[in-house]
Amino acid sequence: MKKTLVTLTAGSLLAASIAASHEGATGIVRERMDGMVAMRDAVRDLTPMMQGQVEYDRDAVIDTAAIIERHAGETMTALFPEGSDDDASYARAEIWQDWATFEAMAMRLELVAGALAEAADNPPGSAMPGQMDNSTMMGGNASMMGGGSSTMMGGGSAMMGGSVAPDPAMLAQMPVDRVFAVAAQACSACHTQFRTERD
């Protein structure tokens, strides 16, 4: 009797921990998924504000930028050691075949997050610097990047690759909602290229 109880308890604990671990991911795969999810949640929380649905809060932008910055760049690439695409992972093998591109995208996200923090002083809808046409940067709305990769992002990925992407100093001068869109595209561009489709 006692033994059965113990077994049952251990069994249900195990089930609970598996459910919480991104369909069985463990170790470094789990760790990078957790980082990605932390960024997703932060971006998701900020989206209504960027769309003007709730009052603008500069500090919330700075907090979100810090969360993204903390999980991007080298912190991110360090969590993708060669061959770490086990069954629980959605990482594509292309990551290691084209490591330079993957790395550049992770670094780019870090830079854009830094620019986002600086742009927190430029509320949504504030004046654009100069005459530059930024319509191509707007892409879509940020909420698209949560789960599945959207077909919409396909077209955006070339832009994020490098040369056409605005530099961080310029981004820092832009209205914050535009910089936010650029950050969201930095996520999506990498997912389009380096993450497999989810069901």
Give how many residues touch ligand HEC by CB under 6 A.
Answer: 24
Is 69 a binding residue for ligand HEC by CB under 6 A? The answer is no
Is 180 a binding residue for ligand HEC by CB under 6 A? The answer is no
Taking the C-alpha atoms of residue 158 and residue 99, their distance in angstroms, rounded to an integer, is 17
Nearer to ligand HEC, 40 or 58 (CB): 40
Is 58 a binding residue for ligand HEC by CB under 6 A? The answer is no
- Name 159's Cβ contacts closer than 8 Å, sequence gap at least 6: 136, 137, 165, 185, 189
Nearer to ligand HEC, 8 or 37 (CB): 37
Nearer to ligand HEC, 36 or 174 (CB): 36
**8 A C-beta contact, residue 141 and residue 128:** no
Q: Count the residues in the chain.
A: 199
Among 61, 65, 105, 115, binds ligand HEC (CB under 6 A): 105
Taking the C-alpha atoms of residue 192 and residue 110, their distance in angstroms, rounded to an integer, is 18
**8 A C-beta contact, residue 105 and residue 160:** yes
Binding site for ligand HEC (CB under 6 A): 22, 29, 32-33, 36-37, 39-40, 43, 68, 89-91, 102, 105-106, 109, 145, 186-187, 190-191, 194-195
